[in-house]
Structure 1
């Protein structure tokens, strides 16, 4: 199931003996794994096993045995690769055998966990939840919630700036919020973010997107982005999201009037970034947007379904063609 449906079950206090969280957002995976664990048991009754420390026999024995000192026995297992069907189903069954036990899997990274997720069902009182990358407006709301929980006063534009600085990485953004909380400043501003926080990588993704959509040569920056570890599909997702924002701004300005950031995006980005986006969006002809979307969809399909030997070289060549359309 997806996050929205699971949120409804959480509100209804529906409990399972086994949980699995996987998908695109490591932040949400870890957040929900810990949220469920803490709702089931006190902190000292939760045992966490991370990655290479996982031992199937130990985990099974632990789940089958009730604790002498606590009413609940929770095992939170963080994985980087899927477990096979036999191990997964045995751990779920151990929790059904011993109702005092709960197992929670936090499946991190780009591994293919879909097959493992199919072993969780209502029949064995378990659930798998797939987490997608939050839309920027949803991510900013998450950052606002985190800031409030830390007792921070903040400017929304500062949270936007922090989020984009970290290439839409919630984990890094939340970690920096915790660092900013130590400063004990009256309010978190964009200037404070600039002084104390540092974005990942030597190339700004935001600058790359603006340059690409302005039809400029981006070969060097594209090379560095991919060299620094950005996944080709993730990069395409970022480009498509940026084009979609520009399309919404363009449509709004042509049908209603002066673009309103909160109505269009659901949040207010830093003023200088918003001005650059509106100027760029208005410059692109409406009929070109459809051509750009089709190009990106076809490119993503090629990367996901074709036997392309070198994804890196292919996306670089393709984005040169994409850039040509904007000149």
Structure 2
């Protein structure tokens, strides 16, 4: 199932006896905490983090009845695949023992998570949730919610800017909010550049602007990759999000003859930036948007599936091809 399905289960209180969470890291951590709180906290909780995992100890704990009538909760956080036989044992024990609950918060790849999900069958009273990376609008909403919780006053565009320079990593963006709360006053994009954007790194926004301006991007692409802050797929995803945002501007302007950032994105932008986006969006024609998004979709597919390719060279050639469409 997906996040919305889990939200429904949490609202109804009708949770399975065993659950696997995998995918977007911040959601896995967030919903792990939500589930533990819903199940009664840490009174009868046994946690194993990564190499702490011990099968016999976990099995013995989940096998025994709860002494006080509430649930024994087994939590395993790991980034490696556990033996199917061991997972099946935990799931079967929880199915038979109504006072036990097994939660596996998996921090590895989505492909491995998919393989692990086979042990969490609904027929055995179990289920799994795969979390996907949020789009920019969703990420800003989550960041806004967290900012309110910690008393941080920050402009919506600054949150988008933070998410972009963190290469659309929601966990990293959330961590930076804690630092920004120490700045004092209302935080804007310039504050983020000062306090978050480190020396020697490459701005994803600047890279995208150079690309769309048909400027030479080779050196900046190399720096972006060498910094370790982004890989080939994240760069493609960032471009997809940006082009999609421009297309939203384009479509709205074509229909209404004007632009309204709040209606287009769901949050405001600084007036000068909003005008720049609108001007940039209207310069591109509808067939160009289709070519750009199709090319990026193809590049994403090849980069994710290609095992024997030079990914950096392939990405560079794909981006040069994009520039020929502009």
TM-score, normalised by the number of residues in structure 2 = 0.90
Q: Deviation of residue 152 (structure 1)? A: 3.3
CA deviation map 1:147-200 (0-9, x unaligned): 2222334332332332233222221222122233355x3544445434433369
Q: Tell me, what secondary structure is at the counterpart of 2:220?
A: helix
Question: Mapping of 1:1-327 within 5 angstroms?
Answer: 1-23=1-23, 25-66=24-65, 68=67, 71-112=70-111, 113-182=113-182, 185-198=184-197, 202-229=201-228, 230-306=230-306, 308-326=308-326
Range with greater deviation from structure 2 (27-36 or 213-222): 213-222
Runs of 4+, deviation exceeding 6 Å: none
Q: Deviation of residue 78 (structure 1)? A: 1.3
Specify whether residues 110 and 212 from structure 1 end up closer, same or farther in structure 2 by C-alpha distance, changes over 3 A only: farther
Specify whether residues 37 and 51 from structure 1 end up closer, same or farther in structure 2 by C-alpha distance, changes over 3 A only: same
Q: Following the alignment from structure 1 to structure 2, what is the Cα–Cα distance between the partners of residues 176 and 307?
A: 34
Specify whether residues 222 and 186 from structure 1 end up closer, same or farther in structure 2 by C-alpha distance, changes over 3 A only: closer
Range with greater deviation from structure 2 (269-278 or 8-17): 269-278
Q: Deviation of residue 142 (structure 1)? A: 0.7
Task: Please tell me whether the aligned partners of residues 164 and 205 of structure 2 are also in contact (alpha carbons under 8 angstroms).
Answer: yes
Q: Tell me, what secondary structure is at the counterpart of 2:214?
A: coil
Task: Please tell me whether the aligned partners of residues 17 and 94 of structure 2 are also in contact (alpha carbons under 8 angstroms).
Answer: yes
Question: Aligned Cα RMSD in Å?
Answer: 2.3
Q: Tell me, what secondary structure is at the counterpart of 2:181?
A: helix
Q: Deviation of residue 68 (structure 1)? A: 4.5
TM-score, normalised by the number of residues in structure 1 = 0.90
Task: Please tell me whether the aligned partners of residues 3 and 131 of structure 2 are also in contact (alpha carbons under 8 angstroms).
Answer: yes
